[in-house]
Amino acid sequence: MHSIIILAAGKGTRMKTKMPKCVFPLLDKPLILYLISTLKELDNCYKPLCVVGYQKEALQEVLKDEVNYVFQEEQLGTADAVLKCEKEVQDADFSLIINGDTPLLTSEYLNALIDKHLKEKNDLTLLTTYLVNPQGYGRIIKDNKFKIKKIAEEKDLSKKEFGINEVNLGVYVINNDKLFDALKRINNLNNSHEYYLTDIVKLFYEQKYKISCLNVEDNFHLHGINDLITLSEIENKLKEEINNKALKNGVYLINKDSIILGTDVKIDEGSIIYPNTLILGKCQIGKNCVIGPNCEINDSIIEDNVKIKHSLINNSYIKKGATIGPFAHLRMNAIIGENDRIGNFVEIKKSLIGKATNVAHLTYIGDTTCGDNVNFGCGVITVNYDGINKHHTTIGNNVFIGCNSNLIAPLNIGDNVFIAAGSTITTSLEKNDFSIARAFQVTKKNYSPKYKYNTR
């Protein structure tokens, strides 16, 4: 049995913002959630311990119950952070310790690191790589027999050590029976006056404990995030990787550099995505869809043969053959039926729309259940809010709703109802009713000259 410790208590001062580094967004989700997803893929996955400190509430809001929490009230360094976990991991044989700012780290590398540690019966196993430009990373220092003897943080490098390009990636597997004894002997006599976890390597070397490393060449997936420049560079590479994968799977991205797809987006072959489109969160898009240009879609399901143009869609479900936009807004579990037409400047919120229904333009539908083959004229509003509570509207099949009609909820509209243009409906209508609810027109002949008005 082993424990997993995530270090996420630091301020991330090089980011130069008040937000904790580990909750910074990378494409469409916080950095640390990438790591949580990876840990769930391990051969033996245990609920991680996450050490939090600086703005711990922000991390807890993101992580919720995905981890168990350990609090480091004063940020004294990574060694002190791990030491805070001693009681929680005392029954484990060894600990996998990871910095929370390595979002693209893969389960393949972590499994390999643990396997190497166990097979070689190491006391400490590190994950390392070689970088052409190792700036910002601690260096792996070896003795004349090529055994790892310490990790030198960049602030503390000697001139000779500065040219070393094998770097520490902040991922360790350490036997617990030796870990906490060593942590208690670490001091803060360095340029940052912090207790470095990396100093454990020197202590293990001096005790002749067995130290080894797994060196990997994939720099992209191993990058830690130290500042906003690095974050932006990683985001661009990740975006390119995702887009190229979509292209290989038969999704045509027109001007792919202007398109952003999230890590949890799945798009079936034959679909076309036009420029300036963002598809983020947990999205599933079917075959032969045409999306964009200028669309933003979040956490939604879109079935086959759907067309969406210049529109915003959040937490919604669009069934096959529907046409959306331009300038439509679907949100809060809007469900659009097969072959529906949702046109320009239409907002649909928390509503179920049946199939073959036409909502062409300038309409608001909220808190509504609507049947099949319904026509909403221009300017129709389901008036769902009375200033205190939201109310529901139910509309049957084959209903015609004329332009500029207001449906004052709560309301039930039966099948085959016809509502005349300009009506304000306040009472429910039964099947086959015809309703007109507006004042009679009054016309006064030759009366207009009494009123002067400017046509400009």
Last residue of a domain, one of 176, 193, 222: 222
Q: Which residues contact 8 (CB under 8 A, 6 or more apart)?
A: 20, 22, 32, 50, 51, 52, 59, 100, 101
Mean of pLDDT values over 358-373 = 97
What is the share, in percent, of the chain residues with pLDDT greater than 70? Answer: 99
Domain residues for the domain of 21 are 2-222
Same domain for 180 and 32? yes
Q: Kindly provide the b/e burial profile for residues 261-287, where b requires at least 16 CB atoms within 10 angstroms of the residue's own CB.
A: bbbbbebbeebebbeebbbbbbbebbb
pLDDT given at position 2: 86
Identity at 357, one-letter amino acid code = T
Q: Are residues 16 and 117 in the same domain?
A: yes
Q: Supply the mean pLDDT for the chain.
A: 93
Structure confidence at residue 73 (pLDDT): 86
Check pLDDT > 80 for residue 218: no
pLDDT of residue 348: 98
Residue 241 to residue 263: CA distance in whole angstroms: 10
Task: Answer for the pair 260, 239: CB distance below 8 angstroms, yes or no.
Answer: yes
User: Band of the pLDDT at 453, cuts 50, 70, 90?
Assistant: low
- Residue 244, domain member (yes or no): no
Res. 287: pLDDT tops 90 = yes
**Model pLDDT, residue 134:** 83
CA distance 454 to 344: 31
CA distance 374 to 362: 16
Tell me the per-residue pLDDT of 306-349, one tens digit each, with 9 for 90 and over.
Answer: 999 999 999 999 999 999 999 999 999 999 999 999 999 999 99
Mean pLDDT lowest for which of 52-56, 124-128, 219-223, 316-320? 219-223
Residues with catalytic function: 361
The reported pLDDT for the residue numbered 207 is: 94
Kindly report the CATH number assigned to the domain that includes residue 338.
2.160.10.10
Closest CA to 339 of 356, 325, 361: 356
Q: What's the confidence (pLDDT) of residue 131?
A: 87
Number of domains within the chain: 2
Rounded CA separation 297/383 (Å): 26
- Do 305 and 321 form a contact (C-beta atoms < 8 A)? yes
Among 6-10, 264-268, 415-419, name the one with the lowest average pLDDT. Answer: 6-10
Q: Which of 172, 199, 222 is the last residue of a domain?
A: 222
Task: Tell me which of 199, 222, 245 is where a domain ends.
Answer: 222
What confidence tier does 222 reach under pLDDT thresholds 50, 70, 90?
A: confident
Domain check: are 192 and 58 in the same one?
yes
User: Is 70 in the same domain as 177?
Assistant: yes
User: Are residues 217 and 351 located together in one domain of the fold?
Assistant: no
* Residue 283, domain member (yes or no): no
pLDDT reading at 455 higher than 70: no
Is the model more confident about 44 or about 434? 434
Is residue 235 in a domain?
Answer: no
- CATH number of the domain that residue 180 is part of: 3.90.550.10
What is the pLDDT, as a whole number, of residue 230?
86
